[in-house]
Structure 1
Amino acid sequence: MAQKGLVELFDKTLAEGKKIAPAERLFLFNGGLYPAMVCRPETLKILDTFEARSDDVVLVGYPKTGTNWVGQILTELETASGKYDEEERKRRQQKEKDLSVFPYLEFGDSDKFERMKKLPSRRVIKTHLAPGKMPKSIFQKKAKILVLFRNPKDTAVSYFHFTKGINLRPSEETWDEFFPDYITGKVPYGLYLDHIIEWNNYLDDKNVMFITYEEVKGNGVLALKRIAEFFNFSVSEQEIESIVEKTSFKTMKDNAPVTHGEMGKSLFRKGIVGDWKNTFSESQNEEMDRKFEEKVARTKLGMMLKYEEYCKD
């Protein structure tokens, strides 16, 4: 979406969200919690009417695992691969602006799926939904899906600051009040560890690729090469290096007022690995470690997260 159109959408959403009474900021739908600021029951009700295309570029990640960042990387890769001239680029951006399509599949009004039919291919589609709640057509059409994970402790801290920053939860709420809800799944999109468990069922699906925030952060060029190969993006080494630079955390944070308006302040905070060490208490560490060990440590995806490396002192 053209930046101006997206910023207007973000700012309007943030302003309207502040008017929602605290007790109504979250709503329950089909057993899951959702943020009323961006989600509507009528949209979730017709999610399965969304018509995927086989060439869609789908990014899935639990909130605050880096979906805004990696989503921008995918957009840049798709644009570079498409080799659009300036006129075509402007035409595509105008089309996206005119259609007012929110950047996440489950966000926005229920008419958005009709408007999305008018988006030119290849569409970059993002969602926070667990696989069981995603539109079936994504799997039926064999669209390629990039699933993003981040270590659970950094995810928790980032989620806490974000929900406070945009008033999804009371602004005066403390970390000690947020943590019990995070670790029991009483936050939008439920328990993060449940997402990991569910995605284990897709390990053998050749149309699904798994990557971690830490991988992309640690070696951006290598991560982007893997992503480009998976989606069959035709990009040069030079283009990849340019995109790594363009999508660095510092660059995106500096540009946030232009790209994301007021919401940018909450979307881009620190962007580092290991920030949880400044927040978790000893007892919270033990509780998170125990929960991870019980639920996912022995699964293939659980091992891929390198919990010992990123979540232990």
Structure 2
Amino acid sequence: MSLPKINVKEVDEMLEKAKNMKPEDLLFKYKGILYPSLHSQPENIDAIESFEAREDDLLLVAYPKCGYNWMIQVLNKLAFSAGKLKNPKYIPYLEFTNPEKLKLLSTLPSTRILGTHMNTNNIPVSFFEKKSKILVVLRNPKDTAVSYFHFYNKNPALPAFDSWDKFFSQYMSGEVMWGSYFDHAVLWEKYIDSENVKIVTYEDLKANLTEEIKEIAKYFNYTLSDEQIQTIAEESTFDAMKEKSQETYGSFGKVIFRKGGVGDWKNHFSDEQSKEVDARFEQCLAGTKIGAKLKYEVHCK
């Protein structure tokens, strides 16, 4: 199958435009949440509130730097191998889709694979009303912070941070794009036992990609052979995807793919910062099913 690709020309034009913009103009705040202004506008977010989901839609949800681009590739391969998708395409975030493009989405044949970074409060309610299949990818908060920091500083379309400490402070206060990591994670506790929501973690995907892909296929009711699952897993490792990033993302691939590991937070966090995240986790997620899913004691201690 061909790989889903972003519109490289469109991205290059966006990056060129960013060179002439002030850092403070690269983001805008809407209903208390920061969004990238070169990708989205308030009218986009207004428009998706009334977006009509379908029962057979697949919605991928991930807070930034928790595995969105990774899983877009996996879902395309699964749907294609199962005969549900004829022409794999890179699916942009709903919040990047202007009203005109949203109308185009409504004309696409099923199966539609859609995605977002937004939390449950901002996802169009029709996905829950229609009981569309939702796949949520979570990642431990410490590695998420580190990956997000580097993403900000490698992406010309975003204002860079002059220090890790400054970024960490804003990450903890939710003054980064798409708001607070902890708000995002906490809100999924309500849906963790829903038949139409499957929650996986970045760390489990790294540890046993083949088994996780098999479970995702089962969740979507896709019948694939063990050989097909194994092939998808081999083609979807971080190294394999990074190697093809020039083909799928153009020069932007260098921004998206960095290390893709687990535990890099230890190279950035001070003891005080680590304890601050520990305390926030204890306050927000300790004792919850989401907290248990994240295996915090394993990955963040």
TM bucket, shorter chain: over 0.9
Q: Which moved more, 1:74-83 or 1:126-135?
A: 74-83
Q: Which moved more, 1:245-254 or 1:1-10?
A: 1-10
Distance 1:16 1:49, change over 3 A: farther
Deviation sequence 1:155-206 (CA, Å, 0-9, x none): 0000000011113544362111110000110001111011111111112321
Gapped regions of structure 2 (runs ≥ 5): none
Q: 1 or 2, which has the higher helix percentage?
A: 1
**In 1, Cα distance between the equivalents of 2:72 and 2:147?**
17
Q: Which moved more, 1:279-288 or 1:150-159?
A: 279-288
Structure 1 segment 170-185 matched on structure 2, within 5 A: 170-171=159-160, 173-185=162-174
**In 2, Cα distance between the equivalents of 1:168 and 1:271?**
21
TM score, norm. by length of structure 2: 0.94
* Equivalent residues, number: 300
User: What is the identity, as a one-letter code, of the residue corresponding to 1:194?
Assistant: D
Is residue 25 from structure 1 mapped to residue 26 from structure 2 by the alignment? yes
Deviation sequence 1:4-54 (CA, Å, 0-9, x none): 663233333333333332111111111211111212111001112212111
Equivalent of residue 130 in structure 1, options 102, 110, 119? 119
CA shift for structure 1 position 250? 0.7
RMSD: 1.8
Contact 1:144 1:207 in 2 (8 A): yes
Structure 1 segment 85-234 matched on structure 2, within 5 A: 89=86, 92=87, 103-171=92-160, 173-234=162-223
Deviation sequence 1:81-111 (CA, Å, 0-9, x none): 0177xxxx4xx35xx6xxxx86111114221
Question: Identity across aligned pairs (percent)?
Answer: 44
User: What is the identity, as a one-letter code, of the residue corresponding to 1:240?
Assistant: I
Is residue 311 from structure 1 mapped to residue 300 from structure 2 by the alignment? yes
**In 1, Cα distance between the equivalents of 2:91 and 2:216?**
23
User: What is the identity, as a one-letter code, of the residue corresponding to 2:21?
Assistant: I
**In 2, Cα distance between the equivalents of 1:154 and 1:216?**
14
Corresponding position of 2:42: 41
Corresponding position of 2:16: 15
Contact 2:151 2:255 in 1 (8 A): yes
Specify the SS of the correspondent of 1:262: helix
Structure 1 segment 280-299 matched on structure 2, within 5 A: 280-299=269-288
Contact 1:3 1:258 in 2 (8 A): no
Contact 1:4 1:259 in 2 (8 A): yes
Moved over 4 A (4+): 1-5
**In 1, Cα distance between the equivalents of 2:15 and 2:158?**
13
Contact 1:156 1:182 in 2 (8 A): yes
Structure 1 segment 231-310 matched on structure 2, within 5 A: 231-310=220-299
Corresponding position of 2:61: 60
Specify the SS of the correspondent of 2:82: helix
**In 2, Cα distance between the equivalents of 1:72 and 1:197?**
26
Deviation sequence 1:106-156 (CA, Å, 0-9, x none): 114221110002222111111101011001111111100011100100000
Q: Which moved more, 1:75-84 or 1:187-196?
A: 75-84
**In 2, Cα distance between the equivalents of 1:284 and 1:169?**
24
Distance 1:277 1:119, change over 3 A: same
**In 1, Cα distance between the equivalents of 2:71 and 2:193?**
23
User: What is the identity, as a one-letter code, of the residue corresponding to 2:60?
Assistant: L
Gapped regions of structure 1 (runs ≥ 5): none
Corresponding position of 2:79: 78
Contact 1:52 1:143 in 2 (8 A): yes
**In 1, Cα distance between the equivalents of 2:207 and 2:102?**
36
Deviation sequence 1:43-71 (CA, Å, 0-9, x none): 00111221211111111010000111011
**In 1, Cα distance between the equivalents of 2:91 and 2:81?**
22
Specify the SS of the correspondent of 2:34: strand
User: What is the identity, as a one-letter code, of the residue corresponding to 1:38?
Assistant: H
